């Protein structure tokens, strides 16, 4: 199966905008989903499909996609957004996850 590549770590100043990217061949055929994971907790879905947010996810989270790259954008980042973020997508019948991006809010 193919892989999804994410930057290992990204930082953002409080209140600023940050983009987290995910690259892989499977993204040319399938949408990425994005998950937020805080230490010791299960992942939480934050973005799916073209740019959809589950109920309860703040509208400062948004998603986009172009070619083989999917992006998660957090506008006006808050302290509580500090977490690991994972993308995933289908790859034929399998599921593939990115390596995760650790977001630090300064």
Partner 1 sequence: QVQLVQSGAEVKKPGASVKVSCKASGYTFTTYAIHWVRQAPGQRLEWMGWINPRNGNTKFSQKFQGRVTITRDTSASTASMELSSLRSEDTAVYFCAREGCNSVSCQHDYWGQGTLVTVSS
Our finding on whether 76 is near partner 1 (CB under 8 A) is no
Q: Does 35 bind partner 1 (CB under 8 A)?
A: yes
Q: How far is CA 95 from CA 15, 73, 80, in A?
A: 33, 23, 28
Which of 53, 98, 103, 105 lies at the binding interface for partner 1 (CB under 8 A)? 98
Choose which of 2, 5, 7, 44 interacts with partner 1 (CB under 8 A).
44
User: Going by C-beta distance under 8 Å and a sequence separation of 6 or more, which residues neighbour residue 80?
Assistant: none
**Spatial CB neighbours of 83, under 8 Å, sequence gap ≥ 6:** 36, 37, 38, 102, 103
Q: How many CA atoms does the CB half-sphere of 2 hold within 13 Å? A: 18
CB of 13 to partner 1, least distance (A): 26
Which C-beta is closer to partner 1: that of 61 or that of 86?
86
| Site residues (vs partner 1, CB under 8 A) | 1, 30-31, 33, 35, 37, 42-45, 48-50, 52, 54, 86, 88, 90, 93-100
């Amino acid at each position: 199966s193919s892989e999804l590549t994410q930057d290992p770590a990204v930082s953002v100043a409080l209140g600023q905008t940050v983009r987290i990217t995910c690259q892989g061949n499977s993204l040319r055929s399938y949408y990425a989903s994005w998950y937020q994971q805080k230490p010791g907790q299960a992942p939480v879905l934050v973005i799916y499909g073209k740019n959809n947010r589950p109920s309860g996810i703040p509208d400062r989270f948004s998603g986009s996609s172009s070619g083989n790259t999917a992006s998660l954008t957090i506008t006006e980042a808050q302290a509580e957004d500090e977490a690991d973020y994972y993308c995933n997508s289908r790859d034929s019948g399998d599921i593939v996850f990115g390596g995760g991006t650790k977001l630090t809010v300064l």
